[in-house]
Amino acid sequence: MAASDLINLLGLIDDAKCFAFVRQHRWPSGVRCPVCDSSAVIRDGCDDTQPCRQRYRCKACSGRFDDLTGTVLARHHQPLRVWVLCLYFMVLNLSNRRIALELGLDASDTQAMTEQLRAGLAAKAPAVELQGEVEIDEVYVVAGHKGQPAAVAKRGGSGAAAGWQARRAAAGLRRTSRRSSA
Ligand SMILES: [Zn+2]
């Protein structure tokens, strides 16, 4: 798809819907205060530069916040629709370079945005807790035989695969024996 088509796409997406989308996902059962979690929240005008960005005031703790407070999107100059499209392109598995091209952004800006979106999304996933002795198996990447399986086999392709299976089985045995002796 040509970049010009997507510049049109950016023009088609409106900020009001993007903020509604964020609100819906952030507070599916109504706005809550990010500080004290109270639902006694009233609207308190809109952002000076982003009129669709709703501000709120908490009646319980008197705290003030808005749609993006406490999210990875809170302190950025890019309009929300650029972030939403960036996230959409990430879901489609486009490279950072391609996303930069499609959104007309600087490569380093795009890199920073995708990193923050990944970090923001990952922050919601529960932390992995590792206990005891942790072992990482070796990883082999098979790039395919390009129509010449015999040549790959001669270079140790299938042999390497068999060796990997043997090593993996041995590693499994080592783990099992450590676990049972612990
Ligand atoms: Zn509060």
What is the Å distance from ligand 1's center to 61 Cα? 4
Cα 122 → chain centroid:
6
What is the Å distance from ligand 1's center to 62 Cα? 6
What is the Å distance from ligand 1's center to 42 Cα? 11
pLDDT confidence of residue 128:
65
Closest listed residue to residue 70, CA positions, set 105, 120, 19: 120
**Along the 182 residues of the chain, how does pLDDT read in single tens digits?**
555 555 567 778 888 999 998 899 899 999 999 999 999 999 999 999 889 999 999 999 999 999 999 888 887 778 899 998 999 999 999 999 999 998 989 999 999 999 988 887 665 555 667 778 877 777 666 666 677 777 766 665 445 555 556 656 655 555 544 554 44
Closest listed residue to residue 63, CA positions, set 26, 44, 35: 35
Max Cα separation, the chain? 74
pLDDT confidence of residue 141:
62
What is the Å distance from ligand 1's center to 178 Cα? 50
What is the Å distance from ligand 1's center to 52 Cα? 22
pLDDT confidence of residue 182:
41
Q: What radius of gyration do the chain's Cα atoms show? A: 25
Q: Which amino acid is at 167?
A: R
What is the Å distance from ligand 1's center to 63 Cα? 5
pLDDT confidence of residue 155:
64
What is the Å distance from ligand 1's center to 57 Cα? 8
pTM > 0.85: no
pLDDT confidence of residue 180:
47
Which strands, in side-by-side order, build the sheet including 41-46? 41-46, 54-58, 64-66
- Pairs from 117-124 (Cβ < 8 Å, separation ≥ 24): 117/72, 117/83, 117/86, 117/87, 117/90, 118/90, 119/72, 120/71, 120/72, 120/73
Taking the C-alpha atoms of residue 81 and residue 15, their distance in angstroms, rounded to an integer, is 6
What is the Å distance from ligand 1's center to 30 Cα? 14
What is the Å distance from ligand 1's center to 81 Cα? 28
